[in-house]
Structure formats: structure tokens, C-alpha cells
């Protein structure tokens, strides 16, 4: 491999691709993808897998001739199939002396701010240990995900969690076309386009098969969701030789849906436009100067007063001694905890609270100046 262009990558693998069109887990293909991931890990690229296939594998293991429609049956299929999926990944990663970890999420986990932060912390910690998280929807308990969810969207949400540079959606299709290539021999592959181009949805169609839950429409929607946090998306065939490594090198394969804003710009644009702040932190003159002039994080020592009631991860306003807002950002501690540590050195946080989530009240990457 030449050189990794991207350092944080989420890879979503579709059911049809993963199970050889419903025959069961394709161990040979998984081994191939894992070999490519092992090369990337050796180059210090962080990888998160979002893997479909549990329900399809469960159907095969239990000998059903078709996919059931009953929710409890689908949940049972997911529970059985998840065992095979985990075993397949564990065996393949072990062959490369790599650890993987199973992470089961629901969309509700990522809609709840506290659970969102917990999921983010877990994924980031796993990556810091060099492990490869294998994420799937927790279909066995989340009936709504079986009915309406899709792992393309989950891939975009996970990209937001780890602030990925690239979301790779591997499918059994070559990429996104301007019309259905099955019906139009002159259909043109969309090679590179702004992820937010409104014309994309007119190109995309629903799923043509019954194995997965998402067609090109969900993939385009996922790319647009990922773009909000500055993540580029590639939709490509997982059957290309060495496809993951080549995409991470930056080779043009499939359809590249570009995020126009970088991570920081996208995040700060969201923060700046966040009209409702959950609380207020009054800063001393020194903290105001450091924030405005040095692009620094906000430390507890610079806070004189905490107002309002807020939880960790909510948006708070930072004001000067006159009450004028100078910045706003995502706070690392609740209002009750912030009151206990305000005016204190970061070295004392663990002693006061009994734990330390971060040395800063607001990290500079989660803070935008408003003055």
C-alpha cells in the first residue's frame, strides 16, 4: 500500500455482499476485507466496521426458506445470526493478531445525548487500544430498527461519533448512477459530486432485493448525514480487488460524495447556529482573553459562575464579566459538576468529583467564538 489519505474510516458492508446474496456468511470475503484492514491498522488508520448480515445468517442457520415478516421471528433470526457474525470476524482478526469488539446500538442510543456520549467514549477508547469495533443495530430488542432502520444510516451516525474522515459503503453495486443501469444501458456512473446536491435523490432508487433494508436512496441519505459532520462518503462495490486499501489511498472507485465542510468547520457552524443554550458560564478576564486570542480550551479555573441546569454534552453559553457572550460550546460536565469544579485547577477535578472525564470544561474543538 502506498499511503493512507484518510486516518479515521468507517466501513459499512451490506447484507447481500456479506452473505453472498443470502447463502450465508461469506467467510472468504470477510477474510479478504479483514486482511486489508490489517494493513491499514499497521499504518495507524482507525477503522470501525458497520456490519449487516445477522438476520440473513440467522435465517440460514435455522433453515428457513424465506425471510419472515413477523417481528419476533426477525428478532430471533438476528439473535442467532449475530453469533455467527461475531465468530467470523473474531476468527479473521485473530489471524492478524488484532482484537475486534462487538458493539450493538440502536438509533435511540444515538438520539439520547447521554447514551450518544457514552457510545462515543466507548468507540474512541476501543480505537485507542487498536481494536476494531464491529457495529450492528441491536435488532433483537429494537423492533423499529427492523421495520424502518438501515445500516447505511447507522454508518453515517457512527462516522459522526468518531469524526471519521471517510465513510465507505460497500455494496454489490458499482456505485451511484444517473439512472438504473439494469433498465438503461446508457446509465452513467456518478464519480464525484457534492453530497448535498439535490439532484442525487432523483438518481437513487430503492433496494432491488429483499436481503437488506436500504437501497441507493438510503445510501445517498447516509452520505448527506455524514457530510453534516465533515465526512466524505464513497459508495463502491466490495468485490473490487483490494477495494478498501485503494479507497483509503484515495483512488477513484465507485461514487465519491464529497463533504464540502471539514469536521471542525461543520461542527462549529452547527454550534454557532444553535439558538438554544442550556446554561451559562461566566468567565474571568483571563479566560476570555485565552479563548479569544489563543484558540484555547476552556478550563475550570477560568469560570466564576455557573447558571442554568444542563447535562454533559449540552450547548452552553460563555459570557464575560458584563454578561456579553463570547463563545458557546459542548460542555464536558453537568451544571452540578461544573459548580463544584469552577475556579479549580484541572489537576483537582478527579479529587473533587471522584472521576475525570476531561481536563477541560469545553474542548477547543467543541467551542466556537461568537464575539
DSSP line for 102-164: EEEE-HHHHHSHHHHHHHHHHHHHHHHTT-EEEEEE-TTT-HHHHHH--HHHHHHHHHHHHT-
Q: What is the pLDDT of residue 269?
A: 63
Q: What is the pLDDT of residue 363?
A: 92
pLDDT by 10-residue block (mean), the chain, 371 residues: 88 88 87 96 96 89 88 89 94 97 83 76 94 88 55 89 94 89 87 91 64 72 88 95 95 94 65 74 96 93 96 91 92 95 95 92 89 74
Q: What is the pLDDT of residue 341?
A: 97
Q: What is the pLDDT of residue 139?
A: 72
Q: What is the pLDDT of residue 230?
A: 87
Q: What is the CA radius of gyration of the chain?
A: 23
Q: What is the pLDDT of residue 145?
A: 47
Going from the N-terminus, what domains does the chain have, and what CATH number goes with each? Answer: 8-260 (3.40.1160.10), 268-369 (2.30.130.10)
Three-class SS state of 280: strand
Contact 130, 164 (CB under 8 A): no
- Cα–Cα distance measured from residue 49 to residue 326, given in angstroms and rounded to the nearest whole number: 39
Three-class SS state of 271: helix
Residue 146, φ and ψ in degrees, nearest 5: -65, -35
- Cα–Cα distance measured from residue 190 to residue 357, given in angstroms and rounded to the nearest whole number: 44
Of residues 152, 139, 151, the one with CA closest to residue 71: 139
Q: What is the pLDDT of residue 113?
A: 65
Q: What is the pLDDT of residue 143?
A: 59
Amino acid at each position: 500500500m502506498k499511503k493512507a489519505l484518510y486516518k479515521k474510516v468507517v466501513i459499512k458492508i451490506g447484507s447481500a455482499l456479506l452473505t453472498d446474496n443470502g447463502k450465508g456468511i461469506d467467510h472468504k470475503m470477510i477474510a479478504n476485507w479483514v486482511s486489508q484492514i490489517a494493513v491499514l491498522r499497521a499504518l495507524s488508520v482507525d477503522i470501525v466496521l458497520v456490519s449487516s448480515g445477522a438476520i440473513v445468517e440467522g435465517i440460514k442457520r435455522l433453515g428457513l426458506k424465506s425471510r419472515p415478516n413477523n417481528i419476533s421471528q426477525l428478532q430471533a433470526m438476528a439473535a442467532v445470526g449475530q453469533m455467527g457474525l461475531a465468530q467470523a470476524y473474531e476468527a479473521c482478526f485473530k489471524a492478524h493478531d488484532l482484537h475486534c469488539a462487538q458493539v450493538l446500538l440502536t438509533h435511540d442510543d444515538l438520539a439520547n445525548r447521554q447514551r450518544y456520549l457514552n457510545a462515543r467514549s466507548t468507540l474512541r477508547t476501543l480505537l485507542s487500544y487498536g481494536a476494531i469495533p464491529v457495529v450492528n443495530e441491536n435488532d433483537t430488542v429494537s423492533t423499529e430498527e427492523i421495520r424502518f432502520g438501515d445500516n447505511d444510516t447507522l454508518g453515517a451516525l457512527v462516522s459522526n461519533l468518531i469524526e471519521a474522515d471517510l465513510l465507505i459503503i460497500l455494496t454489490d453495486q458499482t456505485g451511484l448512477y444517473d439512472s438504473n443501469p439494469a433498465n438503461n444501458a446508457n446509465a452513467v456512473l456518478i464519480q464525484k459530486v457534492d453530497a448535498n446536491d439535490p439532484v442525487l435523490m432523483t438518481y437513487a432508487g430503492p433496494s432491488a432485493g429483499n436481503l437488506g433494508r436500504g437501497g441507493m436512496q438510503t445510501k445517498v441519505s447516509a452520505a448527506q448525514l455524514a457530510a453534516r459532520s465533515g465526512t466524505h462518503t464513497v459508495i463502491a462495490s466490495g468485490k473490487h480487488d483490494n477495494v478498501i486499501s485503494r479507497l483509503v489511498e484515495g483512488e477513484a472507485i465507485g461514487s465519491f460524495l464529497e463533504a464540502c465542510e471539514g469536521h471542525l468547520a461543520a461542527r462549529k457552524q452547527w454550534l454557532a447556529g444553535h439558538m438554544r443554550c442550556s446554561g451559562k458560564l461566566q468567565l474571568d478576564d483571563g479566560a476570555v482573553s485565552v479563548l479569544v486570542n489563543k484558540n484555547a480550551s476552556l478550563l475550570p479555573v477560568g469560570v466564576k459562575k455557573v447558571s442554568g441546569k444542563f447535562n454533559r454534552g449540552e450547548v452552553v453559553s460563555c459570557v464575560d464579566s458584563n454578561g456579553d457572550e463570547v463563545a458557546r460550546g459542548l460542555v464536558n460536565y453537568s451544571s452540578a459538576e461544573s459548580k463544584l469544579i469552577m475556579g479549580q485547577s484541572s489537576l483537582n477535578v478527579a479529587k473533587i468529583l471522584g472521576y475525570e472525564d476531561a481536563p477541560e470544561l469545553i474542548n477547543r474543538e467543541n467551542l466556537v467564538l461568537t464575539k
